[in-house]
Amino acid sequence: MTSLIAGPDRRERCGWVGDDPEYRRYHDEEWGTPLHGDRALFEKMALEGFQAGLSWITILRKRPRFREVFAGFVPELVAEFDDSDVERLMADAGIIRNRAKIEATIGNARIVRSMAEGELDELMWSFAPAPGIRPASFADVPAVTPESTAMSKELRRRGFRFVGPTTMYALMQSAGMVDDHVVGCWRA
């Protein structure tokens, strides 16, 4: 994969975008843009957890259905899901049907519900490193950092699941806690 790729609009973008219009939109409008709010970060945490072992484009394409069946990722609503909801979700081909990930999302919602308003946002952003030098190529982009490892450790200590260091680094990238748009990308 090349570090940069030109889109139909001739803009240079991070090479992972390829020629997929949904990836291009996600790259241009979301990835690396600072994201705040407990609900938004809970959704990001859940979707990154569902992505583990899969491609992100799969999650992007299923995201509207995820939002629909997980009550817009409102933690207070998801926290009320019970065994019948787990079975309903396991039967829904529009999402990733992984029982452990579904149960983790519900359990994580219960933890978020027990937190003060704004606490999840504050907690997660407390691990954002100081702005650094943008990567020159994809070879310079790490999969894990000391900050993502520390975030993962603290979230796990609080009982969150599917929040490993690699998953949390992907969240940090997508939520704009780090900016990994490579040098030369129009977003850089």
- Which residues are designated catalytic? 26, 48, 56
Question: Where would I find the beta strands (DSSP E) of the chain?
Answer: 4-6, 12-14
Residue 142: which H helix or E strand, with range? none
Nearest CA among 27, 44, 28 for reference residue 36: 44
The C-alpha atoms of residue 147 and residue 153 are separated, in whole angstroms, by 10
Does residue 73 come out as left (phi exceeding 0), alpha (psi in the -120 to 50 range) or beta?
left
* CA distance to 32, 59, 83, 120, per residue, from 26 (Å): 10, 12, 33, 24
Per the CB < 8 A criterion, the answer to whether 177 and 127 are in contact is: yes
Distance of CA 177 to the CA centre of its chain: 11
**C-beta separation of 180 from 135 below 8 A:** yes
